[in-house]
Amino acid sequence: MLEAFGLDARTEAVYREMLDRTAGSVAELAVRAGTTEPDVRDAFDHLVELGLLTPSREAVHGLRAVGLEAGLEHLLRRQEEELARRHHDLAVGKAAAARAIAAYSTQQPDVDQDGSERLVGLDAIQGRLELLTGRLREECLSIIPGGAQSEASLRASRPLDEQALGRQVRMRVIYQDSVRNDPATYAYAQWTTDRGGEIRSSPVLPGRLLIFDRTVALVPIDPDNSRLGALCTSSPGMVATLVALFEQTWEVAVPLGATRGQAPEDGLTPGERELLRLLSSGMTDEAAGKRLGVSMRTVRRQMATLMERLEATSRFEAGLKAARRGWL
């Protein structure tokens, strides 16, 4: 009954017997409390520490029990004082942490005046992702270009995604269409949807993007080399622009499980149309492949198929014929 005040069953039994004032010797008290003499002495020490036993005015070196009502009021005051002390210590700790963070931030050359911070290296990015994921409350938006994701990237993402989804955070992710051809990435996307995440894909995506609760965003410093680091920003204007970019991309993307239909007027898939557009703009096979998240081999195979359909003997001729048909 008195566990909330720090008394276990044995100590409470001894205290109740002491309240009777006829407990007698330690041996008699042990019998009445159903315990041993050493346990009674340990209980005495604990009760004295709690202020429920005080020196007796009648028996030399003896102890008397403080009345139940007065004793519990004393314990309640002790708990209130302890709680107040903890609140004070917590406030002091928060203030010290805020000062330390502020001081550390001003010492960092990679922190801009608007609060944007350059995170250099994969370890710095992973550390910030762990922090931001732990603070997530409502929504996480992601654009993940590049097609198939590396095993290391998927392994690093899984515990963070599982943590957020377990807290019922809404997660919306846009992959590139080419992930449909990569078993590992596709399986990860299905794992995400099985836990409540929403996944869509698009043939071409803007750069990698992560937005946390529409207040903080992470974008790569160099989209072609993620190892160079990322920019973490909480600037309202920048975040709002990135959210708008995500929503526009989300609207034209399709659910990962859906099949992209062909346009009835020309029979081109969105991926084929985008490949023609990229190559006609002068982009190399390698660069076009990166934009589409596919290999150069796939780009060349798709282009060979398109040239065959256009009955073209060269890419230049294919471009002319595609333009004449309104494919570009």
Please give the Cα distance from 103 to 111 (Å, whole number).
12
Position 328 scores a pLDDT of 61
Per-residue model confidence as pLDDT tens digits over 66-83: 777 777 777 778 778 877
179 vs 139 pLDDT, higher one? 139
Q: Distance between CA 57 and CA 51 in Å, rounded?
A: 16
At 298, the pLDDT band (50, 70, 90 cuts) reads confident
Burial of 78 (0-12, 13-18, 19+ CB in 10 A): middle
DSSP state of 93: H
Residue 264 gets the label, from left (phi > 0), alpha (psi -120 to 50) or beta, of alpha
Predicted confidence at residue 109, as pLDDT, reads 46
Q: According to the 3-state scheme, what is the secondary structure of 223-252?
A: CCCHHHCEEEECCHHHHHHHHHHHHHHHHH
> Which stretch of 183-192, 197-206, 281-290 has the lowest confidence by average pLDDT?
281-290
Please report the pLDDT score of residue 143 as a whole number. Answer: 92
Domains and CATH numbers, the chain: 1-107 (1.10.10.10), 117-255 (3.30.870.10), 270-324 (1.10.10.10)
pLDDT at 190 over 80: yes
Q: What is the pLDDT of residues 84-99, one digit of tens each?
A: 887 777 777 766 665 6
Q: What is the pLDDT of residue 306?
A: 79
**pLDDT of amino acid 115:** 60
Q: What is the pLDDT of residue 264?
A: 45
State the Cα–Cα distance between residues 294 and 298, nearest whole angstrom.
6
Render pLDDT for 233-274 as a digit per residue (tens, 0 to 9): 988 888 999 999 999 888 888 887 665 554 445 567 777 777
What letter represents residue 306's amino acid? L
Calculate the CA dihedral of residues 211, 212, 214, 216 and round it to 10 degrees: -80
Question: What is the amino acid identity at position 254?
Answer: V
Please, are residues 125 and 156 in contact by the beta-carbon 8 Å criterion? no
Q: Are 175 and 157 within 8 A, CB to CB? A: no
pLDDT of the residue at 100: 58
Q: What confidence score (pLDDT) does residue 14 get?
A: 79
291, 278 in Cβ contact below 8 A?
yes
Alpha-carbon span 275 to 286, nearest angstrom = 11
What digits encode the pLDDT tens for the residues 114-159?
Answer: 567 888 877 888 888 888 998 899 999 999 987 788 888 888 889 9
pLDDT of residue 138: 92
pLDDT at residue 98 in the model: 59
pLDDT digits (tens, 9 = 90+) for 3-21: 666 677 788 787 777 777 6
Q: How far apart are the first and last CA of the chain?
A: 81
- Determine the pLDDT at residue 1: 67
Percent of the chain with pLDDT over 90: 15
**Cα within 13 Å of Cα(302), Cβ side:** 22
Rounded-to-integer distance, Cα 147 and Cα 225, Å: 15
Whether the per-residue pLDDT at 110 is higher than 60: the answer is: no
Q: Identify the pLDDT of residue 215.
A: 93
**144 vs 108, more confident:** 144
Three-state secondary structure of 284-318: CHHHHHHHHCCCHHHHHHHHHHHHHHHCCCCHHHH
The pLDDT of residue 180 is 82
Q: How far apart are CA 250 and CA 244, in angstroms?
A: 10
pLDDT of 50 over the 60 cut:
yes
Q: Is residue 184 scored above 80 in pLDDT?
A: yes
54 neighbors 64 (Cβ within 8 angstroms): yes
At 107 the pLDDT is 46
Query: Which residues 6+ apart lie within 8 Å of 140 measured at CB?
Result: 133, 164, 169, 170, 171, 172, 210, 211, 212, 213
244: amino acid identity, one letter: A
The mean pLDDT of the chain is 78
User: Would you state the pLDDT for residue 46?
Assistant: 81
User: What pLDDT was estimated at residue 208?
Assistant: 87
Both tokens assigned to 261: 């239909």
102: pLDDT strictly greater than 50: yes
pTM summary value: 0.53
Owner of token pair 């660069």: 287
